[in-house]
Amino acid sequence: MLAATALFSSLALGEVGQSGTVRVSVSGDLSPTKLPRKGAAPIAVSVGGKISSTDKRKGPPQLKEMSIAINRNGHLDTRGLSRCRMGKIDPSTSQEAIATCRSSLIGEGSFSADVKLPEQSPFPSEGKVLAFNGRLNGHPAVLAHIYGKRPLPTAIVLPFVITGTKGTFGTLLTASLPQVTGDWGYVTGLSMTLERQFTHKGKSRSYLSAGCPAPAGFRQVSFPFARTSFVFEGGRTVTTTLTRRCRVK
């Protein structure tokens, strides 16, 4: 599995969106970039964002919703892949979540937040994200298990519901944050790398696969890789589109 920390090691490859004083730096990538023109090959996808405010007197508003749309040339396949149930890992430590749902693990990442403490300034916190294959309200979902140890051990399961969408982007992952974070604090960063290969009925499968959409006669092409949308308290929205390049295998 790819190291999720690589996602933020090169934000120069990302995009910065801003609405008012709210700024979101988004980065993402796919691996490998050499893919078949016809058919699809296993890939890993990394996407994440860091949230800040240009107003130094106060932080950004509470993040209410986050969505990630992936180019329609990328395909998601969960047939034969074990599912994890939210109730099994909420609450739990990272180690407990792995022990319970290891067969459903599809990725990992990191998060950062400003945790609210009674009668104190917000306390910066960082932690680990584990992504599991699951379902929510009848839809396939990525269950992002978030665990941090400071200032107090805190565990949250953030479900990204997966739906299909038409047009350039074929797969949409959407998460509603207030439902799970409550008054716990303010998310300031979240990244995930999704990658999993498994065997079902004797055949090798990949959670994510893709082809390179280069037209005939071209060996490489730039394409809209992912579109992210961050909706904040008060209705302010920041949307960005990441463009990446692939080569024909």
Q: What is the pLDDT of residues 26-66, one digit of tens each?
A: 999 999 999 999 999 999 999 999 999 998 888 788 899 99
On the 0-12 / 13-18 / 19+ scale of CB atoms within 10 A, 54 is: exposed
In terms of residue numbers, what domain contains 61? 4-248
Q: How confident is the model at residue 184 (pLDDT cuts 50, 70, 90)?
A: low
Q: How many structural domains does the chain have? A: 1
Query: DSSP character for 7?
Result: G
Model pTM score: 0.89
- Would the CA dihedral through 7, 12, 15, 19 be positive or negative? positive
